[in-house]
Structure 1
Amino acid sequence: MKEFFKDIFEYHNHFNQKLIEQLAENENAITKRTIPLLSHSINAQQIWNARITNGQTFGVHENHTLDECKRIDTENYKQTLKIIDERELTEIIIYANSKGAEFRNSIQQILFHIANHFSHHKGQIISDLRQSGIHPIVTDYIFYKR
């Protein structure tokens, strides 16, 4: 299972970086919600990593420049790989959400959530690109594996 998660996060990091490059090339043409959506996705991974490691978290809706998104995404990816390598996926993490409510989930559940969260918002960003008349890059997992 650890190899599976490493593969999934490598895939997300790869296409996050490519998508950020495409957004930078078209920054004047994209919708106003696109960069905040990207920032939110990247913040979420950072927040979940920090919940696991007891680190400091970003705000859920904190906005970043595209250059910052690129850097933070790389840092998140490295931190997630470290978590996968050093922690047991069955380990239960007790954390508070952004409203202060306490929850318990395994690292495996958290990692699966992060991956799905990226997929959801990546789809929204792709839709934004199309609405702006920009042909988005192909981000399908199977194309990555080919």
Structure 2
Amino acid sequence: MKEKLVDLFEYTYHFNKEMIKIISENLEKVDEKAISLINHTLNAQQIWNSRILNEKSFEVWQINPFENLDGINQQNFNKSLEIV
């Protein structure tokens, strides 16, 4: 089970990173909905991790500074692996 969860978290981390990269390369063409959805995706993982670890969590629809998204993705990945 642990291997399956690690695979899932690696997949999520990789494709979140790809989406952040694509958005950053096309920021002038990206609408608010896309920014909102990538934030929501990252926030959801952060919220679940924080619930498990009893830490302070983000808001579900919180908009984070775009330059922080890579770091949030990395932190989510690291904490998810720590939990597993």
TM value normalised by structure 2: 0.95
Amino acid at match of 1:40: H
Amino acid at match of 1:76: N
Determine the structure 1 residue equivalent to 2:58.
58
Q: Does 1:46 align with 2:46?
A: yes
Determine the structure 2 residue equivalent to 1:29.
29
1:66 Cα deviation after fit: 2.5
User: Could you list the runs of 5+ residues in structure 2 that have no partner in the other structure?
Assistant: none
Distance in 1 (alpha carbons) for counterparts of 2:34 and 2:22:
12
1:12 Cα deviation after fit: 0.9
| Mapping for residues 1-146 of structure 1, pairs under 5 Å | 1-84=1-84
Q: Which of 1 and 2 has greater Rg?
A: 1
Q: Deviations over 1:60-89 (max 9, x none)?
A: 1110133211110100000000000xxxxx
Distance in 2 (alpha carbons) for counterparts of 1:41 and 1:11:
13
Q: Is the 8 A contact 1:36 1:64 kept in 2?
A: no
Moved more, 25-34 or 63-72: 63-72
Q: Is the 8 A contact 1:20 1:70 kept in 2?
A: yes
Going by fraction, where is helix more abundant, 1 or 2?
Answer: 2
Pairwise CA RMSD: 0.8
Runs (4+) of structure 1 exceeding 3 A deviation are none
SS at match of 2:27: coil
Bigger relative contact order, structure 1 or 2, given CA contacts below 8 A and separation 6+?
2
Going by fraction, where is strand more abundant, 1 or 2?
Answer: 1
Amino acid at match of 2:48: W
User: Could you list the runs of 5+ residues in structure 1 that have no partner in the other structure?
Assistant: 85-146
